[in-house]
Amino acid sequence: MLLIQGGRVLRPDFECATADLVVDGDAIADIVAPGTVKDDNARRIDAAGKLLIPGLVNGHNHAQTNLAKGLFDRYNLETYLNAGPWATGRRTVEDHHLAAVIGAAEMVRKGCTAAYDMFVEFPVPSPAGVEAVAKGYADVGMRATIAPMMADRSFYAAIPGLAEALPEPLREQALKIKYAHHEQSLAACRQMIRGLKHGRDAIRPALGPTIPHHCSDEFLAGCRDLAKELDVGMQMHVGETKMQAVVAKRKYGKTMVAHLDSLGLLGPGFCVAHGVWLDDDDRARLADRGASVSHNPGSNMKLGSGMADARRMLDRGVNVAIGTDGAGCSDNLNVFEAMRMASFVSRVADHPPERWLSSREVFLAMSEGGAKALGFGGKIGRIERGYKADLVFLDLGHVHYVPLNDVLNQIVFCEDGTGVHSVMIGGRMVLEAGRFTTIDFARIAAQAESAVERLREANRGARELAEKLEPYVGQYCAGLAAMPYHVHRFCG
Ligand SMILES: [Zn+2]
């Protein structure tokens, strides 16, 4: 038995009082008044001067991009996807593991204890690659839901008219970039899900057909069936940019969400990443099917994608999580910052103040909402008896909390991760007084330096091609995005 003594504990009702936590194995066995437990044999952690909050949950991330952080500035989603082959290409299994460790380390250091990860391998996911990412999370001690990101059409083939708009020989070179046939990807996923060497309390497998029009309907139906058969969740990028919304109307004659619904994909295990370009009918469908949305305001702002209307999602009863997105387009993996931005972007459109997201609402999305989206609902996201002992120890002596006026508002509006003192996941201290107990970060840093040097060289040709394609891609996609597309978003 472990006793965490004398900390101030943020409870699910947002009351915050000094209490002792009794941890048995990986779970919270009890929450009692200070000094109640007299067991002399209990191991004790002194949490005086600390504020204990549930580990935060990152709703959307991409492990492969942790070796690509800081590479991009003025890119939108389409020019960023055009750069994907060089930014994340030619990775070894060791690179996949390294990238996952770096991301997990950053998230834990900043108070995050579980993440949804759409990890990509081109042209087809491999059980070994997914296992390397799972091991990366497990090595740091973090929980994750890992969805291999897949497609059976390349970016250039997926967007109507794009290939035709490219001059030769660029068109031919771009169209040589091909994903595997979807049956191959589904077979790899089946093998991966069955063979994953981690309990589902630690690592949950999922499926990640990336963007609706990058996947054939046969592929999406195959994902639906496999997810049902093996009881796993699914995450997809849906309505991330206006261009995508225009393409969906053209391709399907309806919105992406309506199309996915007609294929039977939406359900409680389904999570939309972004959901910027949704209409009222989309939100109603998602809510009625019990689906989740990961709202990723940092990425949406950096890529200029627009602002998701989380208020209208909550109004309609959609489960909302909050995500950072990957290090290629956010670029830090700071869940406190994501929570703060989610709060702030709800205020810049035309909702009146009483409809802005409150600190309670964003904290719930970043904890319980995320837990549900990841498939860990009822197990993490709360400091409550029976929940996993995933705890972030915030230092109340840090300037963020001096003076302490309102605990919750200060977590959401003042904390930026630098107040994280220690992090416990499943009853195990993985970060203690700012130091990792599970990994040697200096060694990881050295490995990262040599990996990016090798990858820079290996991807030189792909980078040259992407740079030649970029002006055409940027211009064509901007033209498509400028097409009329009416969506009721911020109507108050
Ligand atoms: Zn993403």
> Which pLDDT tens digit goes with each residue over 56-108?
999 999 999 999 999 999 999 999 999 999 999 999 999 999 999 999 999 99
CA 48 / ligand 1 centre spacing (Å):
39
CA 211 / ligand 1 centre spacing (Å):
9
Cα distances (Å, whole numbers) of residue 245 to 252, 444, 487: 10, 40, 9
Task: Return the structure tokens found at 444.
Answer: 């990881």
Intervals of the chain under pLDDT 70: 486-492
The half-sphere exposure of 51 on its side-chain side, counting CA atoms within 13 A, is: 24
Q: pLDDT, tens digit, for every residue of 233-290?
A: 999 999 999 999 999 999 999 999 999 999 999 999 999 999 999 999 999 999 999 9
State the pLDDT at residue 486: 60
- Torsions phi, psi for 117 (to 5 deg): -125, 115
CA 10 / ligand 1 centre spacing (Å):
31
Under DSSP, the state recorded for 328 is T
Q: Whole-angstrom Cα distance, residue 71 to residue 60?
A: 19
The half-sphere exposure of 54 on its side-chain side, counting CA atoms within 13 A, is: 29
Residues ≥6 apart with Cβ < 8 Å to 289: 261, 266, 267, 268, 270
3-state SS class at 318: coil
State the pLDDT at residue 492: 31
- Torsions phi, psi for 68 (to 5 deg): -120, 15
State the pLDDT at residue 487: 53
Using the structure block, give the residue that is written with the tokens 């103040």: 353
State the pLDDT at residue 491: 35
State the pLDDT at residue 296: 98
CA 332 / ligand 1 centre spacing (Å):
14
Smallest CA-to-CA distance from 116 within 267, 257, 271 is with: 271
Q: Whole-angstrom Cα distance, residue 438 to residue 136?
A: 11
Residues ≥6 apart with Cβ < 8 Å to 7: 18, 19, 21, 47, 48, 50, 51, 52, 393
CA 26 / ligand 1 centre spacing (Å):
31
CA 236 / ligand 1 centre spacing (Å):
8
3-state SS class at 223: helix
